[in-house]
Structure 1
Amino acid sequence: MKSARGFLKPCFAVAGAAAVLAAVLGWVFAGAVGAWAAPAGVALAALGFAGSVQAVAAVERIDLRLTLPMALITYAVKLMIAFFALWTVKSTVPDALLPFAWGIVGGAVVWLATQAVWAYKAKIPYIELNQGS
């Protein structure tokens, strides 16, 4: 899985660029509140995806068959965290809700698109190769 985690650096780089763009767009469309809320949403999405990768990689070291259950568990946890974050933003700074939500959506889209491009270009063997022979 270590070689398959090579997409983390490009995904974080693109998410960083998306956060800068989100700050600019947030400022243009929602003022100062949008300037911090939109990139915060991008960051939440990026950290959620990276956390999932780390959790699945950790459980893969224990047993490969646990990767699907861990992926599903992390997906459910990410959704709960995102909904809790949205509720918290709505409760504390209602004006930030829309830019924050759009930041989450934008962050997820750029992360998944970057990961898909990386996977398309990557040379990952689909069979286990003997390392010792």
Structure 2
Amino acid sequence: MRTARGFLKPCFAVAGIAAAVAAVAGWLAAGGVGAWAAPAGVALAALGFAGSVQAVAAVERIDLRLTLLMALITYALKLVVALIALWTVRSTVPDALLPFAWGIVGGAVVWLATQAVWAYKAKIPYIELDQRS
């Protein structure tokens, strides 16, 4: 799984760039509130994806058969956290809701696109290679 987690660095790098772009776009669209809300949404998406990767990798060390279950649990947990975050933003700073939500969407799209490009270019064996050779 160590090789398969190699996408974390490029995904975080692209998410950082996306957060900077989101800050500018948020500022242009909604002023000062958008300037912090949009990159906060990107950060929430990036941290959610990275947390899922770490959780699945941790459970893989216990038993490979548990990885799908952990992936589904972390997916459900991410949705709950995102909904709670959106509700909190809506109830505390209503003007920030739209930039924050778009930041989450943008962060998810950027992360998944970067991960897909990395997976397409990666040389990951689909069989277990003998370590003794």
- For the criterion TM > 0.5, the same-fold answer is yes
Q: Which residue pairs with 2:106 in the alignment?
A: 106
Distance 2:88 2:104 in 1: 14
Mapping for residues 78-97 of structure 1, pairs under 5 Å:
78-97=78-97
Q: Which residue pairs with 2:14 in the alignment?
A: 14
Shift of 1:107: 0.1
> Deviation digits for residues 102-133 of structure 1, max 9, x if unmatched?
00000000000000000000000000111124
Shift of 1:93: 0.2
Q: Secondary structure at the match of 2:31?
A: helix
How many equivalent pairs are there? 133
Q: Which runs of 5+ in 2 are unaligned?
A: none
> Deviation digits for residues 22-43 of structure 1, max 9, x if unmatched?
0000000000000000000000
Q: Which runs of 5+ in 1 are unaligned?
A: none
Distance 2:94 2:5 in 1: 37
Distance 2:99 2:50 in 1: 22
Distance 2:92 2:61 in 1: 41
Mapping for residues 41-52 of structure 1, pairs under 5 Å:
41-52=41-52
Q: Which runs of 4+ in 1 moved over 2 A?
A: none
Distance 1:5 1:72 in 2: 18
Percent identity for Structure 1 against Structure 2: 86
Q: Which amino acid aligns with 2:65?
A: R
Distance 1:101 1:120 in 2: 29
Q: Which residue pairs with 1:61 in the alignment?
A: 61
> Deviation digits for residues 47-69 of structure 1, max 9, x if unmatched?
00000000000000000000000
Distance 1:126 1:75 in 2: 25
Q: TM-score, normalised by structure 1?
A: 0.99
What RMSD in Å do the two structures reach over aligned CA positions?
Answer: 0.5
